[in-house]
Amino acid sequence: MLLAAAPAGAAPTLVVDADSGQVLHQREAGRPWYPASVTKLMTTYVALSRIREGRAWPETIVTFSDNAVAQSPSKMGFKAGTQITLENALRMLMVKSANDVAVAIAETLGGSVAGFAADMNAYARRLGMSGSNFVNPHGLPDAEQYTTARDMAVLTRALIHEFPQAEALFRIPAIQLGKIKMRNHNALLHRYEGTDGMKTGFICASGFNVVVTATRGGKRLIAVVFGGTTANERNETAAALLEQGFQPRFSLFESASSVDSIANSGGGPVSISEMVCGKGRKQAEDTDDDEPAGTAVPRTSSDPDDIYATIHGDRPAAARASAAAASATGAAAAKSAKPARPSLLGPVVIRPAVPVYTGPARGDTMLAGIAPSPAPATLMAARRINPDGRAVAASVAAGGAPLPLTKPMTPAVPNLSAYAPTAGTGSVPVPRPRPRAN
């Protein structure tokens, strides 16, 4: 699908006080933009709303169909027929940014991707997100999928205030499936003091996006940065905006307006693909790359499993070429270049991974208190599936007779010792954000 090219100009940025909604900074916050994987914040909002309404539970079984398995990366890579709980699906969605998981959630809760997208748009309208339209739950390229920085800040405030019980979901540093560990794509969680959410995103058309929250001294801010040409540029921009917002003197320049009062400009989004990925290159997969290609964090005794050590090199071709050219001419450039602004990003802080697993619920949860009633006992056992991977429960939920059953689900990841919670514990601890050094 063809995406219109973007003219030169500054990309949207926005900083909002999470509690009051007061705008501290905004630049083109109502301009349409491709959301990429920050879409998954809307997917999560719909899922949590379903739980609050008693139409789903953290223990609800999510089954991977052939359609889910066929999605482009980033993905978990499960086989068709794999079953996980909705809560485990949300953990994977927020950390791994898994597109196959997004589709599995959509098909489970909405009956189909199109049905779930309709729900996403209905909830978005209810929140006043007038500049957004969703056609898929993951943010992979589609000309009809767009949002604004203003709308993403509105959504983030809704997640914070409507679902305080789920706040740990957005700051999970890493997940562990058996022996496999996967870090959160949001580098600010690991490198910017006080960060406590939310989500990154990347496709060529959008550039590098992030919606991030951070708290210091009891003040919580939301920053939205769209259209970074590199992951590092995006992260440094977000850190600089947050740093400015936390300064006491910044209150002198605060706007009297609220985020809701920002006008969405309308129209369609434009693509910055040529700027980010190079001319003539096809739309990239939503890789959510967060580090320069080939860089690595030194292995330490606190990171024996190399969870953060090796950063896969999936940067866009143009960015890789630019990095290579910069390396080749680094010495000459260093003589003529202006001194670089000191980075606001600290060293990577290693935190324990949060477990995820396949199969039915085992009693651990981060989402306690959202559902109005306990989950039905039937949700505590995995559903059986048809050979094509479609869940039997879709027919039963609609009031029809169960579809023919086949053999029980076989876990898609063999030879992994999936996590079993400690007896007597009903929650999974998540490390608090790193405190700011004085």
Cite the DSSP H helix spans in 128-272. 149-162, 187-191, 231-246
Burial grade of 150 (CB within 10 A; 0-12, 13-18, 19 or more): buried
Using alpha carbons only, give the angle 77, 78, 82 rounded to the nearest 5 degrees: 165
- Cα dihedral 386→390→392→397 (10° resolution): -170
Say whether 130 is catalytic: no
Picking from 326, 338, 252, the residue whose alpha carbon sits closest to that of residue 293 is 326
Contact 214, 192 (CB under 8 A): yes
Q: Give the E-state strand segments of 288-394 in sequence order.
A: 354-356
Residue 212 backbone dihedrals phi, psi, to 5 degrees? -135, 145
Say whether 40 is catalytic: yes
Contact 32, 269 (CB under 8 A): yes
Angstrom distance (rounded) from CA 94 to CA 184:
8
Say whether 257 is catalytic: no
Picking from 418, 405, 188, 221, the residue whose alpha carbon sits closest to that of residue 290 is 188
Angstrom distance (rounded) from CA 25 to CA 253:
9
Catalytic one among 49, 97, 132, 273?
97
- Active-site residue set: 37, 40, 97
